Amino acid sequence: MMGMQSVNLCRMLIVGCLLVALSGCGSGPPRGLLAGRVTNRGQAVTKARIYFENAEQGTGAVVELNEQGRFEVATAEGPGLPPGVYQVAIKPQGAGAAPSRSGELPPEALAGSSASKDPPPMNELIPAKFYDFAESGLKIEIRDGKNPDWDIDLGK
C-alpha cells in the first residue's frame, strides 16, 4: 500500500513540475499595457495621434485617438510596449510620420527626425508645443503588466 502512494505522489510531482515549466513557454519579453484619454479642458481631442518614443531602446508606437479621445497602445508584437520611460508627443492627423498598420513608430518619427519638424495641420485643441517630444513635457514610465489609465489634459 505504501508503494502505491509513493508512485501517485511521484506522478503528481512530475505533472506539477511540467505544468510550472510549460506555463512560462511562449510568454515573450515583458510588456506594459497602457490606455488613456487626451482632452483639452474636458473636450475630447480627436483626429489626432499620440506618439510614444523610447530612444534608448529604439522603440515606440503611434496610436490613433478615437472619437472620445481614447487610446490603447499596441504594436506588431502585441498590446502594450516594452517597459521603460517614453517621451510623448500629440499631433493632428496628417502631421509628421503616419503610423504603420501595426502601430509601430516609423524610423523617421524617432528623435531628431521630421516627425517633430513637419509643418502641422491645424487642430485648435492641440497646442503646438505638444507636437514635439522635447517641448511637450510629456513623459511616462511604462511598467510591466497593466498600467493605470493615463488621462492627459492639454489645457492645463
CATH number for 75: 2.60.40.1120
Partner residues linked to 78 by β-bridges: 75
Give 3-state DSSP helix, strand, coil % of the chain, rounded to 5: 25, 35, 45
Specify the pLDDT at position 9: 55
Q: What is the pLDDT of residue 94?
A: 78
Over 80: is that where the pLDDT of 134 sits? yes
Residue 63 reports pLDDT greater than 80: yes
Query: How far is the C-alpha of 34 from the C-alpha of 124, rounded, in Å?
Result: 26
Q: Which helix (H) or strand (E) holds 116?
A: none
pLDDT tens column, 83-92: 999 999 999 9
Taking residues 128-154, what's their average pLDDT?
96
Residue 11 lies in a domain: no
Q: Which residues, other chains included, contact 13 with Cβ-Cβ below 8 Å and sequence gap of 6+? A: none
DSSP H/E element including 57 = none
Tell me the pLDDT tens digit for each residue of 1-57: 556 565 555 465 455 544 444 444 556 789 999 999 999 999 999 999 999 999 999
| Residue 8 covered by a domain | no
State yes or no: pLDDT of 130 exceeds 80: yes
Write down the pLDDT at residue 121: 65
Residue 155 has pLDDT above 60, yes or no: yes
Dist. CA 69–CA 67, nearest whole Å: 5
Domain, as residue range, for 98? 32-153
Take residue 46 and report the three cell numbers written for it. 480627436
Q: Is the pLDDT of residue 95 over 50?
A: yes
C-alpha cell at 62: 503611434
| Predicted model pTM | 0.70
Question: Are 87 and 116 spatial neighbours (Cβ–Cβ below 8 Å)?
Answer: no
Number of domains the chain contains: 1
Q: Is there a domain that residue 51 lies in?
A: yes
- The radius of gyration of the chain from alpha carbons, rounded to an integer in Å, stands at 22
Question: Residue 142: beta bridge partners?
Answer: 84
**Within a domain: residue 37?**
yes
Predicted confidence at residue 3, as pLDDT, reads: 60
| Cβ 47 vs Cβ 94: under 8 Å | no
